[in-house]
Amino acid sequence: MLRARGSFPAAQITIDFVPRYRVYLGWVRSAQVAAEAGVNVQTLRYYERRGLLAEPDRLDSGYRAYGPEVVRVVLFVKRAQRLGFSLEEIESLLDLAAGGPDSCDAAHALSIETVARLNGKIASLAAMRDSLLLLVDTCDQPRSERACPLLRALEHDSGQGGSTT
């Protein structure tokens, strides 16, 4: 027996092989999406709350029924996070992706902003690395000749950051 079901798109068909047991073609449950995307189910719920994923339809059993495109969206979000985009920026990217070629200028501007932010982080990390390398070099000297840059910086603090009393 084939028939279209409730709120599912007409193209989605259920098949009753056994009474009260339905197979939903093209729909997957939360655990399946999470496993394919390499995240946990709570990540999917969080993305739903943030608006990155549309709230899915529910099966008769109450389980969430995600469409096949959801894994692709979750993987996109995770890749964008690895590139340094915030979830707010990723939401904008998803909106831009749905907007077609007219959205290229906005995507370009967002990417330029993110590159500038990442360059700032890179410069900060490089300065930290250089300070630590200086510390390591100082530690290799005889004890009487050591001048720890970390301790020196703390000793010469100009009072910024307030007192500890």
The model's pLDDT over 89-124, given as tens digits with 9 standing for 90+, comes to 888 888 877 776 566 777 788 888 888 988 998 999
Residue type, 162: G
Distance from C-alpha of 114 to C-alpha of 33, rounded to nearest angstrom: 29
Residue-averaged pLDDT of the chain: 75
| Chain centre distance of CA 155 | 40
CA dist 27 → 9, 66, 70, 71, 155 (Å): 11, 5, 10, 11, 63
pLDDT band at 158; cut points 50, 70, 90 = low
pLDDT > 70? residue 74: yes
The model's pLDDT over 136-153, given as tens digits with 9 standing for 90+, comes to 777 777 777 777 666 666
For the chain, domains (ranges, CATH) are 1-82 (1.10.1660.10), 84-157 (no CATH)
Q: How high is the pLDDT of residue 62?
A: 82
The model's pLDDT over 26-35, given as tens digits with 9 standing for 90+, comes to 678 888 889 9
